[in-house]
Amino acid sequence: MSLGEGRPGTTDSDRRGHPPGAVWRPYTQMKTAPAPLEVARTEGCRIHLADGRSLVDGIASWWTACHGYNHPYIRERLEAQLSKMPHVMFGGLTHAPAETLAERLVELLPGALSRVFFTESGSVSVEVALKMSAQCWMNHGQPDKRRFVSFRGAYHGDTFATMALCDPEEGMHARFRGLMPEPLVAELPTTEASRQAFSSLLEARASEIAGIVVEPLVQAAGGFIFHDPEVLRFLRRVADAHRVHLIFDEIAVGFGRTGWMFACQAAEVVPDMITLSKALTGGTLPLAATIATRDVFESFLRDDPKAALMHGPTYMANPLGCTAALASLDLFASEPRLEAARALEASLEARLAPARAHPRVIDVRVLGAIGVVEVDRVNDLEGLRRRFVDLGCWIRPIGRCLYLMPSLVIAADELDQLATAILTVLDEL
Ligand SMILES: *Cc1c(COP(=O)(O)O)cnc(C)c1O
Q: Is the pLDDT of residue 58 over 60?
A: yes
In the chain, the amino acid numbered 58 is: G
The answer to whether 278 is a known catalytic residue is yes
DSSP state of 23: P
| CA–CA distance, 253 with 219 (Å, rounded to integer) | 9
Q: Is the pLDDT of residue 42 over 90?
A: yes
Average confidence score pLDDT of the chain: 94
Whole-prediction pTM: 0.95
The answer to whether 155 is a known catalytic residue is yes
Q: Beta-carbon neighbour count of residue 298 at 10 Å? A: 13
The answer to whether 403 is a known catalytic residue is no
| CA–CA distance, 56 with 41 (Å, rounded to integer) | 13
Average pLDDT over residues 160-188: 83
Position 175 scores a pLDDT of: 75
Residue nearest (by alpha carbon) to ligand 1 atom 8 = 122
Could you give the residue ranges of the DSSP H alpha helices within 115-247? Answer: 122-139, 160-163, 192-205, 229-241
Position 171 scores a pLDDT of: 66
Position 107 scores a pLDDT of: 98
Q: Which atom of ligand 1 is nearest to the CA of 277?
A: 7
Contact present, 233 and 124 (Cβ < 8 Å)? no
Distance 210 CA to ligand 1 centre (A): 21
Residue nearest (by alpha carbon) to ligand 1 atom 6 = 122
Q: Which atom of ligand 1 is nearest to the CA of 121?
A: 7
| CA–CA distance, 419 with 404 (Å, rounded to integer) | 8
The answer to whether 31 is a known catalytic residue is no
Average pLDDT over residues 56-70: 98
**pLDDT tens per residue, range 3-20:** 434 344 444 444 455 567
Contact present, 99 and 323 (Cβ < 8 Å)? no
Q: Which atom of ligand 1 is nearest to the CA of 124?
A: 9
Distance 288 CA to ligand 1 centre (A): 10
Reduced to 3 states (helix: H, G, I; strand: E, B; else coil), residue 85 is coil
Average pLDDT over residues 74-100: 98
Which uninterrupted H or E stretch holds 304?
none
- In degrees, rounded to 5, the angle at the alpha carbon of residue 231 between the alpha carbons of residues 227 and 233 is 140
Could you give the residue ranges of the DSSP H alpha helices within 85-176? Answer: 96-108, 122-139, 160-163
Contact present, 52 and 68 (Cβ < 8 Å)? no
**pLDDT tens per residue, range 195-251:** 999 999 999 999 999 999 999 999 999 999 999 999 999 999 999 999 999 999 999
